[in-house]
Structure 1
Amino acid sequence: MADYFSPTVVQPAILSADMTALERLLLTHIFESEPDGDGLYFFAETSPNTQIELPIKVVRAALAAEEGVASEAAAFVRGQLKDVGDDDEYVCLDLSQTSFEILFQDIVKRSATLDHVSIVTSFTCTKMRPDGFGGMAVLVTADAIKGKSTEDILGDFLDEAEHGPLMAAPGFGVHVLLRLHEAKVRAQIAQIIEADETLTPIAAGAVTDADIRAGCISVVERTDLTEQQDSAVFKAALAAIREAEQRLAPAR
């Protein structure tokens, strides 16, 4: 039997003042942590935790402190608490149904000093399985969460090997105008359900990653962006002409 691990480091250290009580509670249980100046350095020696069992009183106290703060952590926890019974003393938070990157994004959005967080993960295995090794780098900013795996990098290398140096040059290939991020769909689900209690009887946490992927595929299949694409092609053609005119204009 092979065991798979994903050791992870988060940089830079997160200032305690930048985290809400609930974010700190979640992050210190998803990751291990060490004090670093006025903040915490987060890491996972084996893998980030996806199942966290905590006293309900502790969770509710941290949630109450979130009042008035825009927080994906609060939306996630409220969804998890909806299934808790009156006699339950502990709650198991299933973090496999969300993305801890969105916690860091909220922190970056509010921070006066932090403009990004980087998360680097290595994929390892106790046996030399061909699918057991690799890695992932994720950059979290206030506006976006971007990641690339070693498999993605190898794909880039293969494309360059097939098409030559021009593969990486401006004007080659396809330029993406729109991406549908599943992590953003996950965050939107919690906001929609919280805003309209009559929309559905299910909790946000009941929507699985598979549900989100199926929803995204359905929307992509049904959405026709032909007019927007034609407009973008026309504008790009005009812009290319202007670039050529400037390049060929005689120097004055």
Structure 2
Amino acid sequence: MADYHSPTVIQPTIPSADMTALERLILGHIFDTEADGDGLYLFAEIGPSDSFELPVRDLRRAIAASADTESTVNAYISERIAALTDDDTHVEIDLSGMSWEFILQDIVRRSPTLDHVTAISAFTCTRMRPDGFGGMAVVITADAIRGKSTNDIVEDFLGDDAHDALYAGTHVLLRVREHAVKEQIAEAIGADPDLTSINPDAVTESDIRSACLDVVACSDLSEEQGAAEFRAAVAAIRAAERRDQAPG
């Protein structure tokens, strides 16, 4: 029999002040924890747990202490213990319907110090099975949860090779640079008070990327492309002329 494991580490340390009582309770059962200064280092030697039993009293106390803070896990757990009676002393918590990444994202959104959290996992197996090894990297920000596995990386490499073969002899004429668009946003809002009432910081990286993709999809640069190709053709002719006229 083969056992599959996914040891995981969360970085950086999560400040205790940034977690609600319920988040800390639940994360402490999903992961192993170690105190690290004023925070918790989260990790899992075997893999994150998505099912565990908790005392109802501890859960109700943590929910009450977290009631003033909007939290994904607060709503999720509250729904699941609503049907419990006074005779129930323990409850099985099943988190298969909710990813722990969303708990960490709530923390990042509220945190005055964290702008992201990473989760790095290794996929291992007690037998040398071809599907038993690999890994995953996840970056969690206030706006997005992005992940890539080692299988994704292999597919990217293969896709790059196919792309290179398809576009051999093709040269990039224009790139829409997201960092330049971000700079333009600040300049545009500063120069025109009537443009918008929002602050430049309200425009997220996701907003910028989506807008860039839309502009690229709607732009027709065929005339500019043709003109550039003609100029390149003339330049190539002149280069050949100079080579032919060179002595020797």
Tell me the TM-score normalized by structure 2. Answer: 0.69
Equivalent residue number for residue 37 of structure 1: 37
Equivalent residue number for residue 69 of structure 1: 69
Return the letter of the residue paired with 2:157. F
Equivalent residue number for residue 93 of structure 1: 93
Q: Provide the rounded CA distance (Å) in 2 between the counterparts of 1:92 and 1:82.
A: 13
Equivalent residue number for residue 204 of structure 1: none
Query: Structure 2 vs 1, CA of residues 39 and 170 (structure 1 numbering), >3 Å: closer, same or farther?
Result: farther
Equivalent residue number for residue 13 of structure 2: 13
Task: Deviation per CA, 1:152-175: give whole Å up to 9, x if none.
Answer: 1111011112221869x979xxxx
The reply to whether residue 112 of structure 1 matches residue 112 of structure 2 is: yes
Q: Provide the rounded CA distance (Å) in 1 between the counterparts of 2:136 and 2:30.
A: 18
Query: Structure 2 vs 1, CA of residues 234 and 150 (structure 1 numbering), >3 Å: closer, same or farther?
Result: closer
Return the letter of the residue paired with 1:119. A
**Post-superposition offset of 1:244:** 9.6
Return the letter of the residue paired with 2:107. I
Return the letter of the residue paired with 2:158. L
- Superposition RMSD in Å: 2.8
Q: Provide the rounded CA distance (Å) in 2 between the counterparts of 1:109 and 1:37.
A: 21
Q: Provide the rounded CA distance (Å) in 2 between the counterparts of 1:242 and 1:68.
A: 57
Q: Provide the rounded CA distance (Å) in 2 between the counterparts of 1:43 and 1:244.
A: 56
Q: Which runs of 5+ in 1 are unaligned?
A: 172-230
**Post-superposition offset of 1:67:** 1.6
Q: Provide the rounded CA distance (Å) in 1 between the counterparts of 2:9 and 2:97.
A: 21
Q: Secondary structure at the match of 1:136?
A: strand
Task: Deviation per CA, 1:2-36: give whole Å up to 9, x if none.
Answer: 00000000000000001000000000110001111
Q: Secondary structure at the match of 1:139?
A: strand
Tell me the TM-score normalized by structure 1. Answer: 0.67
**Post-superposition offset of 1:234:** 5.9
Q: Secondary structure at the match of 1:54?
A: strand
Q: Which runs of 5+ in 2 are unaligned?
A: 174-213, 232-248
Equivalent residue number for residue 190 of structure 1: none
Aligned residue pair count = 187
Q: Provide the rounded CA distance (Å) in 1 between the counterparts of 2:43 and 2:219.
A: 44
The reply to whether residue 79 of structure 1 matches residue 79 of structure 2 is: yes
Q: Secondary structure at the match of 2:123?
A: strand
Query: Structure 2 vs 1, CA of residues 234 and 17 (structure 1 numbering), >3 Å: closer, same or farther?
Result: closer
Query: Structure 2 vs 1, CA of residues 44 and 244 (structure 1 numbering), >3 Å: closer, same or farther?
Result: farther
Matches within 5 A, 1:146-157: 146-157=146-157
| 118-127 or 88-97: bigger deviation | 88-97
**Post-superposition offset of 1:245:** 9.1
Identity level (%): 52
Q: Provide the rounded CA distance (Å) in 2 between the counterparts of 1:170 and 1:61.
A: 59
Query: Structure 2 vs 1, CA of residues 97 and 160 (structure 1 numbering), >3 Å: closer, same or farther?
Result: same
Larger CA Rg, structure 1 vs 2: 2
Return the letter of the residue paired with 2:220. A
Query: Structure 2 vs 1, CA of residues 12 and 233 (structure 1 numbering), >3 Å: closer, same or farther?
Result: closer
Return the letter of the residue paired with 2:59. V
**Post-superposition offset of 1:47:** 0.8
Query: Structure 2 vs 1, CA of residues 162 and 55 (structure 1 numbering), >3 Å: closer, same or farther?
Result: same
Task: Deviation per CA, 1:158-206: give whole Å up to 9, x if none.
Answer: 1112221869x979xxxxxxxxxxxxxxxxxxxxxxxxxxxxxxxxxxx
